[in-house]
Structure formats: structure tokens, C-alpha cells
Amino acid sequence: VVVVQNASVLELKKALRRHVQLRQARQGGAQHLSWKYIWRTYHLTYAGEKLADDRKKLREYGIRNRDEVSFIKKLRK
């Protein structure tokens, strides 16, 4: 997924959503994903740190080119 150099976490989430939707469209799947459910159930993480603040810039978390972020399931409260 490609985002601008000074992108925020929210812009990264939007880019992930766009990437997944385009990929599903190319594969012919008319499957619907509930992004509201995904963001409520999973955290985006980088180097063991949760990307919790949508307004924070990616560089503030130390994310650079070709770095990998992952999903981690949120724990129940």
C-alpha cells in the first residue's frame, strides 16, 4: 500500500481499505467487508506498538518506506 510521506494513521487505514476493495474487485469477488467491524475488532501495529491515534503521523511511530504494519486482535474488556 502506498501513502504519502507525511500521511496520518487514518490515511493509511483508508489506503488499506482501498487496496483490499480493488483486489476483491479484480478477483471477481462481490464480497462485502464491514470496515467498521474490522477497526472495532483489530489494531494496526508496527514494531509491537499499536497505531491507536488516527491523527498521529506515521513518521511519529517511526514508519518508513517498505516497513510492514500488521493487524492484531483487540482484547475483550
Has residue 16 got a pLDDT over 80?
A: yes
Locate 41 and state its grid cell.
475488532
3-state secondary structure of 40: helix
Architecture of 9-73 per CATH?
Answer: Roll (3.10)
Query: What is the model's pLDDT at position 30?
Result: 64
Q: pLDDT tens-digit profile of 20-61?
A: 989 888 887 767 889 999 999 999 999 999 999 999 999 999
Element (H, E) at 23: helix 9-26
Q: What are the structural domain ranges in the chain?
A: 9-73
pTM assigned to the model: 0.88
Element (H, E) at 70: strand 70-73
DSSP bridge partners of 35: none
